[in-house]
Chains A and B, each alone.
Chain A
Amino acid sequence: MNRQRRSLTLVSLMLAVLLLLLSACSGGESTQPQDQTGQQASGKKYKIATVVKLTGVAWFDRMNEGIKRFGEETGNETFMQGPQKADAALQVQIIEDLIAQKVDAITVVPFSAEALEPVLKKAREKGIVVITHEADGFENTDFNIEAFDNLDYGAFLMDSLAKSMGEQGEYMTTVGSLTTKSHMQWEEGAYKRQQEKYPNMKAVARKLETNDDQKTASEKFRETLKAFPNLKGFQGASGNDAAGAALAVEEMGLQGKVSVVGTSVPSVSKQYLESGAMSMIGFWDPADAGYVMNKLAVMVLDGKKADIKEGANLGVKGYESIKVVNDKYLFGSAWVGVGKDNMNDYNF
């Protein structure tokens, strides 16, 4: 192949890639807002957009249910938007569009907090109310709401583990990654609770890293069991940890001998809860989080900002008595524990 032909091939290749990129861009456009009906009656109605990390996944589909429910109950126009792939830049673009549409409020679950600060600053300068979720410490927001305080949630998981283990025996904990802040805090909350309340329990291996990978979690569990044959409990932080451990428990026929709890979603863990390989999973209901975000937006728009204070009741289970840090960072206690008996109540 001579030089000229080779460069020609290269150019045509680049063109092909460019075309592909273009088509990918047009495919990655945000979903259109759904028109809301029920614009009836009482008081001023607002247009509130919720921007999520990603559309088309079970988690945010569930959140959309809460958002729609709020719209139907209050008559405000509420809708959800989000990129089709997890990309901070696409989220920025969607928010820019919403600012241009002059919505009254934007509630956001940021993909990357840093990337959204400037565009949300702009939104607030234009008088749009901004509420965030899963973005503790975010600057340019009226309020950030978390489903729970991470340490409290960890303690809740530990309570379930202790109950399942009969409050005694050796246990291990895993995190998705040593650099995932929330996982580390859940683990620390759990460990602290065990130290305070369950003296007969003992952590033999702590914070093993699973890389959010079920296979790794399964292998780590098997290995820890070899190193500590008296192991009686497992607590996992990442969404795949508990499933990995439960898989190993089932394969080794240890149901009832080793207790597995962790953060997960029912769709992933159902088969193990059913077989008894897993005792309980914890998570928060995104539908409630979506509902509360919209509720907060309306409260701010109605000028009832002062009502959002320590101990305030937002009218949703788990958010009846919120905790406030630095005036604008709110925490509920909205964790949900799901076992064999109530796992069918959740569809994500």
Chain B
Amino acid sequence: MKKVMQTSEFYVAIVVLALFLVIGSQSSAFFTITNLFDLIRSGIVPGIFVMCAMLVIISGGIDVSFPAIATFSMFCSTKILHSMHYDGPVLVAFLLSGLIGLCLGLINAVFISLFRLPTLIVTLGTSSMFSGFLLTFVGSSQISDLPKPLLTFSKEQIFKFTNDSGITVGLPVAVLVSLGVIVLVALLLRYTMMGRGIYALGGDAVSAQRIGFSPIRIQFFIYGFVGLMAGVAGMIHTTMMRNSNPVDLLGTELLIIAAVVLGGTRITGGHGTVLGSLLGLLLVITIQNSLILLGIPSYWQRFVIGALILIGTGVAAYQVKRSIMKRKSIVS
């Protein structure tokens, strides 16, 4: 019990619970299945993004390029499938998008692990490059008439029912993909040597190398895997929106990173859990999706979201400061 109380997940969970109670006391619509489903729906794509950001942060880096990779992959693959009037299994669309994402992720990996450039600088640069390349050479206008398999997929819902006010409530099938990704990442971190390697690398790169981990291999794995997941997430976004817009998703990285950090992942690397990050995301999504329920006017909604980013990144900055001080005290 004492051990549970010492984890940061515990505190995030308490904050989330308190938030639920506050909002629930203000609006009777909050504790309904409809609202629960809406919250889950909002978390389908960010859920995968959070896993991406978390993996990189645990390994001691920071990645801001995953939204750009997602947008690039989804738009390119939609464009390709659209131009060939694709009419086969929908799996191919996800594979194609994931594959494009994988390649872009490997570009990040080359700069980061072979040239040893700082991760933030590299991903900031590639993020802008991917997006610029997409708009210049691939296309800048959105595709609204999706290929048929994608459209059919996007209209499929699970747990579908009609509530008493005549509204159809359900979740897109894509929620299963997100769930799969989350379980996969959890297993990876917990039971595989690669997972231990990621923690080790983030804890202390030199020690990790001394005990036999290859930083190059681990980093190639991380950035490739993140690219792959981002590509899949992008395709999910396209099917959920029933259109592919080359400027979508960009700019969501800050809130995602804030969610990861709020969830107890240390920005300095080496620490972080899937559960914590998901709780952090839940916190962010709940706040984002409850401002109207709480009756907050739209000017203030901006303020609240800004405050959220500030708190999230503030926590991160504090962690860095503390970690530097700790190191200094060891040295002296």
The reply to whether A251 and B170 contact each other, CB–CB distance below 8 Å, is yes
List B residues 108-146 near A (Cβ within 8 Å).
115-117, 132, 135-137, 139-142, 144-145
The reply to whether A270 and B144 contact each other, CB–CB distance below 8 Å, is yes
State which of A9, A215, A218, A252 has its C-beta within 8 Å of the C-beta of B169.
A252
Q: Report if A208 contacts B (CB, 8 A).
A: yes
Q: Which residue from chain B places its CB closest to the CB of A172 in the assembled complex?
A: B292
Interface residues of A, CB < 8 Å — how many?
49
Residue numbers in A under 8 Å from B136 (CB-CB): 24, 27-28, 84-85
- What is the CB-to-nearest-CB distance from B219 to chain A, in angstroms, rounded to a whole number? 15
Q: Report if B35 contacts A (CB, 8 A).
A: yes
The reply to whether B168 and A251 contact each other, CB–CB distance below 8 Å, is yes
Q: A226-B34, A226-B38 are in contact. Are A271 and B168 (CB under 8 A)?
A: no
The reply to whether B245 and A206 contact each other, CB–CB distance below 8 Å, is no
Q: Which residue from chain A places its CB closest to the CB of B157 in the assembled complex?
A: A251
Once bound together, how far apart are the Cα atoms of A208 and B240, in whole Å? 21
Q: Report if B184 contacts A (CB, 8 A).
A: no
The reply to whether B298 and A214 contact each other, CB–CB distance below 8 Å, is no
Residue numbers in A under 8 Å from B29 (CB-CB): 226-227, 229
Q: Report if B266 contacts A (CB, 8 A).
A: no
Q: A27-B136, A253-B167 are in contact. Are A209 and B292 (CB under 8 A)?
A: no
Q: Report if A240 contacts B (CB, 8 A).
A: yes
Q: Which residue from chain B places its CB closest to the CB of A6 in the assembled complex?
A: B116
Binds B, one of A53-61, A295-303, A321-329: A53-61
Once bound together, how far apart are the Cα atoms of A268 and B115, in whole Å? 43
The reply to whether A226 and B293 contact each other, CB–CB distance below 8 Å, is yes
Once bound together, how far apart are the Cα atoms of A270 and B145, in whole Å? 9
Once bound together, how far apart are the Cα atoms of A20 and B292, in whole Å? 46
List A residues 186-227 near B (Cβ within 8 Å).
205-209, 211-215, 218-220, 222-227
The reply to whether A252 and B115 contact each other, CB–CB distance below 8 Å, is no
State which of A6, A224, A257 has its C-beta within 8 Å of the C-beta of B292.
A224
Once bound together, how far apart are the Cα atoms of A280 and B32, in whole Å? 32
Residue numbers in A under 8 Å from B243 (CB-CB): 214, 243, 268
Residue numbers in A under 8 Å from B248 (CB-CB): 213-215
- What is the CB-to-nearest-CB distance from A13 to chain B, in angstroms, rounded to a whole number? 6
- What is the CB-to-nearest-CB distance from A60 to chain B, in angstroms, rounded to a whole number? 10
List B residues 214-259 near A (Cβ within 8 Å).
237, 240-243, 245, 247-248, 251
Question: What string of 1s and 0s marks CB contacts (under 8 Å) between B166-201 and chain A?
Answer: 111110000000000000000000000000000000
5 sampled A-B residue pairs with Cβ under 8 A: A85-B135, A243-B243, A247-B242, A254-B167, A270-B145
Nearest first, the 4 closest Cβ-Cβ pairs linking A and B are A253-B168, A226-B29, A223-B292, A252-B167
Q: Given A56-B139, A227-B27, A244-B241, output 7 extra A-B contacts at Cβ < 8 Å.
A: A58-B141, A215-B248, A219-B42, A226-B34, A227-B295, A251-B168, A267-B145
